[in-house]
Structure 1
Amino acid sequence: MKALIALEDGTVLIGRSFTGAGEAVGEIVFNTSMSGYQEVLTDPSYTGQLVTMTYPLIGNYGVNDEDMESASVHPRAFLMREYQDVPSNFRATGTLAEFLKKFGVLGVDGFDTRMLTRIIRNHGAMKAIISTEDLDEASLVQRAKDWPGLVGRDMVARVTTKAPYNWVNNAPVAGAGFDTGFAEDTAKYKVVAYDFGVKYNQLRILKEKGCAVHVVPATTSAEDVLALNPDGIFLSNGPGDPAGVDGVVENIRKLLGKKPIFGICLGHQILGLAYGASTYKLKFGHRGGNQPVKDLLTGKVEITSQNHGFCVDQDNLPDKVEMTHVNLNDGSLEGMRHTEFPAFSVQYHPEHAPGPHDAIYLFDRFLELMA
């Protein structure tokens, strides 16, 4: 089925929908990972986006229940050069097309993804629309321009949990402690995790490290968090513009110095705003599993998994906040810590899923702060 991909700059590409009729509007971005497409699709940080995979063949190992990073699919469309409908992997329980159809996400292939990636790299991430229904190019370009975009919008409200839960046996569990605290009082550490769009592997690793994890909505007050008397506070990843997330920064600011804090991705950006720093939109963001980052504290270089379109501005970090990690591709800030309070964060994804495991040590740093 013919599908048109129209960008706000007037570019129109012709592809093929392998999931049937539909339309999707959002910010079009690219991801450079060679594998891990199911983890990409179930990462809430992609809410409001149209994701293009630069690796040319996608779908060859199917999908399964174990590689879910949330309970749903978050991009509005998934684009690739060539879709493979016959998976060959012993773990596969279904095809990528079936998976996308289940969640109502448009899948498109059969066009030059290299050209699209080059356009985004040269001109930046853009508003775009994909349609099998409206095939008028001028109409689609105008509709792409009319979409409000992600800047200044609260996308976290779309993905955060509606009520607190505990992470038990690798799954969210209501049950004991649903609204009153931790289900596992015998755990070595008790961590309250703010859900800005959390990936399951962050919770899995915290649990594996000996933590009881109580997940709370993004709007939970500092007072309610402190009433749970946690050993540490975790700030998860999430979608969109950190400056557009309503009512969260002030709560995090109230927690500074009260408990150890560890932030990842959007959690890192929100922590930066709580410090008094500012954020800005990157030209085309960092998305993929091959971003080199230098740890300035140790001098070591790690290859990291990343997915973000905004960044903390290193040029106006407040006093008592120091840069700890730098991106070796573009020099942007990838990590920071407070020199007075027990708080640190990174822009990338140490929990991988997908991607390298080089940065898993950061969870141990969090445990050391709680010890």
Structure 2
Amino acid sequence: MKAFLILEDGTVFTGTSIGSTKEVISEIVFNTSMTGYLEVLTDPSYAGQAVTMTYPLIGNYGVCYEDMESLKAWPDGFIVRELSRMPSNFREEDPIQKFLLDNDIPGICGIDTRALTKILREEGTMNGMITTNENYNLDEIIPRLKEYTVKGVVKKVTCKEKYVLEGKGPKVALLDFGAKKNIARSLNKRGCEVTVYPAFTKAEEILATNPDGIMLSNGPGDPKECTEIIEEIKKLYASNVPIFAICLGHQLMALATGADTYRLKYGHRGANHPVKDLATGKVYISSQNHGYAVDESTLNESVAKSAFINVNDKTNEGLAYVGKNIFTVQFHPEACAGPQDTAYLFDRFMDMMKEENANA
């Protein structure tokens, strides 16, 4: 069946339908990872977006459900050059086509994804429609595309009730703004007892449990939309509890302490982004998925200082908070980009909690 990807600037790509045949309007973004398509599909940070994979062959090792980063798929759509329909891997359980159908994700294959990526890089992220309707009307569709905005996605992806991953070590409260499973897993395997809280949990409820540390997770959407959450983070900041924040959590902590964020032209999405630790001068390969960044020019240096920068475009990738046991990063240390380049940040968080307990 034919499928069409229609961009808000009027560009139309024609390909073949994969997955669900439902029509969808979404923000079109691209990811440069060569592997990890299942992790991309199950990353809640992609809620409200359709993902273009720049690597030309997707699905060649199939789907292994153990690798999922959440319980379901979150992107609105999936766009690939070529979809492998005969996967081969000893861990493979299903072909990706079945996964897309089971999760009602519409997609398109057979288009020039690198040409599409060039458009997004030059013109910036834009909205688009995936449809199988051959009688589409551009005059009717384009105004709808221009009106679309990503809203309410944190509420959509967060857990509905708190739950606990048992452990005998420090007690960590993880605020779930769209948390990838490997964040809690990375803490749990270091012995932490991790209590995962819904995104809109009040700070008083979390602090009343006397956690040894607090994690603010990744998540989707514009951080400035999360006004209620930012107010609660202000209260968490005022406590003496060590805090480690990733991606959206990093942006929300910045907003809560007076800094500003801005939308990137086309975002950082992939497993090959170099970031520099300003304290050591070392450069690490990181996994990233974000469309917004902290504006360094708005930082109050008595509150926070830049700790990491992106080597490619010099955007902020992390903050160290002055006089506080708080540090935040824009990238994903729980992912395996290097494959373990930045996992040491979890160990730093562990050390912070031990030090705080020793001084208590």
Q: Same fold (TM over 0.5)?
A: yes
Instruction: Say whether the 8 Å CA contact 1:201–1:353 is kept in structure 2.
Output: no
Are 1:286 and 2:268 matched, yes or no? yes
CA distance in 2, matches of 1:154, 1:65: 27
When structure 1 is superposed on structure 2, of 190-199 and 138-147 the one drifting more is 138-147
1:347-371 Cα offsets, whole Å, 9 max, x none, are 0000115663210010011111100
SS in 2 for 1:345: strand
| 1:228-243 mapped onto 2 (5 Å cutoff) | 228-243=209-224
Instruction: Say whether the 8 Å CA contact 1:134–1:140 is kept in structure 2.
Output: no
Q: Look up the match of 2:142.
A: 141
CA distance in 1, matches of 2:268, 2:100: 24
1:238-258 Cα offsets, whole Å, 9 max, x none, are 000011014101111111142
Are 1:104 and 2:78 matched, yes or no? no
Instruction: Say whether the 8 Å CA contact 2:5–2:108 is kept in structure 1.
Output: no
Instruction: Say whether the 8 Å CA contact 2:245–2:327 is kept in structure 1.
Output: yes
CA distance in 1, matches of 2:135, 2:223: 35
Q: Look up the match of 1:258.
A: 240
TM-score by length of 2: 0.95
Instruction: Say whether the 8 Å CA contact 1:35–1:354 is kept in structure 2.
Output: no
CA distance in 2, matches of 1:49, 1:248: 22
Instruction: Say whether the 8 Å CA contact 2:272–2:337 is kept in structure 1.
Output: no
SS in 2 for 1:247: helix
Shift of 1:31: 0.1
Q: Look up the match of 1:222.
A: 203
CA distance in 2, matches of 1:288, 1:255: 31
SS in 2 for 1:145: helix
Matched residues, number: 351
Q: Look up the match of 1:79.
A: 79
Instruction: Say whether the 8 Å CA contact 1:4–1:135 is kept in structure 2.
Output: no
| 1:191-202 mapped onto 2 (5 Å cutoff) | 191-202=172-183
SS in 2 for 1:14: strand
Q: Give RMSD over aligned pairs.
A: 1.2
Shift of 1:108: 1.2
Are 1:164 and 2:162 matched, yes or no? yes
When structure 1 is superposed on structure 2, of 254-263 and 40-49 the one drifting more is 254-263
Unaligned runs of 5+ in 2: 355-360
Distance 1:8 1:167, change over 3 A: same
SS in 2 for 1:209: coil
Shift of 1:327: 0.2
Q: Look up the match of 2:358.
A: none
CA distance in 1, matches of 2:178, 2:82: 29
Are 1:301 and 2:283 matched, yes or no? yes
* Higher relative helix content: 2
CA distance in 2, matches of 1:341, 1:140: 50
Instruction: Say whether the 8 Å CA contact 2:284–2:338 is kept in structure 1.
Output: no
| 1:1-371 mapped onto 2 (5 Å cutoff) | 1-133=1-133, 135-138=135-138, 139-147=140-148, 149-150=149-150, 153-168=151-166, 184=167, 187-256=168-237, 257-318=239-300, 319-353=302-336, 356-371=339-354
SS in 2 for 1:248: helix
CA distance in 2, matches of 1:134, 1:330: 40
Instruction: Say whether the 8 Å CA contact 1:19–1:100 is kept in structure 2.
Output: yes
Shift of 1:137: 4.3
Query: Partner amino acid for 2:155?
Result: A
Query: Partner amino acid for 2:145?
Result: A
CA distance in 2, matches of 1:60, 1:46: 22
Distance 1:323 1:20, change over 3 A: closer
Instruction: Say whether the 8 Å CA contact 2:257–2:303 is kept in structure 1.
Output: no
1:115-170 Cα offsets, whole Å, 9 max, x none, are 100000001100111101363241332321232x13xx3310000111100125xx
Shift of 1:274: 1.1
SS in 1 for 2:145: helix
CA distance in 2, matches of 1:356, 1:38: 17
Unaligned runs of 5+ in 1: 169-183
